[in-house]
Structure 1
Amino acid sequence: MDDTSLPQDPPNAPETDRLAPGAPAPPPAAPNLNAILSIPVTVQVVLGSTSLPVANLMRLARGAVISLDQRVGDPVDIVVNGKVVARGEIVVVDESSQRFGVSLLEIVAGASLEQAA
């Protein structure tokens, strides 16, 4: 079957006219996406956690070591505004200034934006 036998939409036809019958209409485009993209969010990298009694917490002093539930090399959680959105691994960004970063390994399922009902 060649392309000439297929019906052609006019080049300036609205996108909604090209949808299959019964298909849901796409959401309207955001009028000012830049306003949303400039909103600051808090990003945290969670190395691990632990649970200890308050009495042990009160005895902590400089140099104390708190054992975490993560092992060296385990992925760390990347949390945005309190929700885990990805996992990654710690990497050295700049050895001379001893700066670290996170290399993303995976995006957590269900971390996509939820639409307001």
Structure 2
Amino acid sequence: MKEKIMNDEVEPRQLAPVHFDAEEQSAEPAQAEEQPAADIPHVPPSAADLQAVFDVPVKVQAVLGRSRMDIGHLMRLKTGDVVELDRRVGEPVDIFVNNRLIARGEVVLIDSALGVTLTEIVRQDR
């Protein structure tokens, strides 16, 4: 009986995107539409406003450099081999979040653990 319900009666739904600006404007009284947008101050989101996204996992990468090689050469690599990268010592490393460049930084060693100190936040136009 459960199989019949799942296969015959339940249809997959596709959710429409939600635009918060449109909802906020429709929820306000008609008087707010008469006010110019310049009169309404913009308040940046606080930490409490962002609480819902704090547990969302993201992929963070610190890219020291890149190298191209044939698969055969890659398969022959062993411990102690040196792979030449396209960057020099002291150049900043790129920090990617979900494959998007967000910052650059310097490699640091703290208590025998490697890390990156952010030195520049990269702004990209959408």
Bin of the TM-score, shorter chain as denominator length: 0.5 to 0.7
* 1:37, distance to aligned residue in structure 2 (A): 2.3
Which structure 1 residue ranges, 5 or more long, are not aligned? 1-16
Q: Which consecutive unaligned segments of at least 5 residues does structure 2 have?
A: 1-31
Q: Percent identity?
A: 44
TM value normalised by structure 1: 0.64
Counterpart code for 1:73: G
Partner of 1:73: 90
- Deviation, structure 1 residue 22: 4.7
CA distance in 1, matches of 2:54, 2:39: 26
What's 2:55 paired with? 38
Measure the CA separation in 1 of the matches of 2:81 and 2:117: 28
Give the root-mean-square deviation of aligned CA atoms: 3.0
Q: TM-score, normalised by structure 2?
A: 0.60
Cα-to-partner distance string for 1:8-27 (whole Å, 9 max, x where unaligned): xxxxxxxxx7xx83539658
What is residue 21 of structure 1 aligned with on the other side? 36
User: Deviations along 1:28-85, whole A, 9 cap, x unmatched?
Assistant: x799531112212111111111001122112212221111111110000011111110
The question of 1:110 aligning with 2:86 is answered: no
Task: Please state if 1:62 is matched with 2:54.
Answer: no
Residue type matched to 2:59 in 1?
A: T
Amino acid at match of 1:49: R
State the distance in 1 between where 2:68 and 2:39 align.
48
> Matches of 2:87 and 2:68 in 1, distance apart?
13
Equivalent position amino acid for 2:108 in 1: V
Once the two structures are TM-superposed, the CA of residue 104 in structure 1 deviates from its matched residue by 0.6
